[in-house]
Amino acid sequence: MSSQDSRPNIILVTGGGRGLGRNTAISAARSGFDVVITYHSNGDAAAEVVGEIEGLGRKAVALRLDTTDVGSFDAFAAALRSELGRLGHENIHALVNNAGIGLDAPFATTSEELFDRLVNVHFKGVFFLTQKLLPIIADGGRIVNLSSGLARVALPGFAVYGALKGAIEVLTRYLAKELGERKIAVNVVAPGGIETDFGGGALRDILEVNAFIASQTALGRAGVPDDIGPVIAALLSPSHRWINAQRIEVSGGWVL
């Protein structure tokens, strides 16, 4: 909620129609935020999330966005401003850069096409979307970027993905430094293995993959979306205002 009045703040979650983005959006709504989510192609799933948030008594809207298409960001920012006005808001309190894809390949056979797809989604898109939305983020607001345990632990096949998440962690510190004058706190959350459809749902659906992650985790299981969304929502609240420029791993103690 706003520290200045009783009106709810509104946040933007990219990739909010499924997985961790969906859970983050709903967790934030439960914490009292109105929510804008973006989706790439599955408008029906996004509409379901909007309906669930509205069922919690909060306002919500879903906007289509391809985070790899930097040229579309001007139009997206204009559409966002329009929807904010319709919902009774001037700015967003927080941006959660969640949208992503799960692709893997051995280093020796990684193609330039795969490399570019991952770069565009996991770094270039995050960089330039955040830049474009800076005028819409309220002073004193929040930015939360999504990293991964794979930025800390090396698993074969994830050289590009892990390296890009490492880049996001460095970018987070730079954003915290440069946006400090506006009192915008910027943090990065690094989940461990989570049971979602990410990467084709292997961790969720393949028993051997799930068992491997569980065996490497101190708490003895793979993660679920409910382990992550509430942590991100908490970082948006006034009670966590003094956490800034931090990498917060939410993995149950993976590979200690």
List the catalytic residues: 147-148, 161, 165
What's the rounded Cα separation, in Å, for the pair 142 and 120? 23
Q: Encoding tokens for residue 129?
A: 């979307």
CA neighbor of 118 nearest in space, from 155, 81, 75, 68: 68
Chain mean position to CA 250:
13
Point out which residues pair with 94 in neighbouring strands.
Answer: 11, 142
Point out which residues pair with 190 in neighbouring strands.
Answer: 249
- Report CA-CA distances (Å) from 254 to 102, 149, 188, 191: 19, 8, 17, 10
Say what angle helices 125-133 and 159-178 make with each other, to 10 degrees. 20
Amino acid type, 164: L
Cβ distance 124 to 171 under 8 Å?
no
Determine the length of the chain. Answer: 256
What's the rounded Cα separation, in Å, for the pair 102 and 26? 22
Q: Which residue has the tokens 């962690």?
A: 169
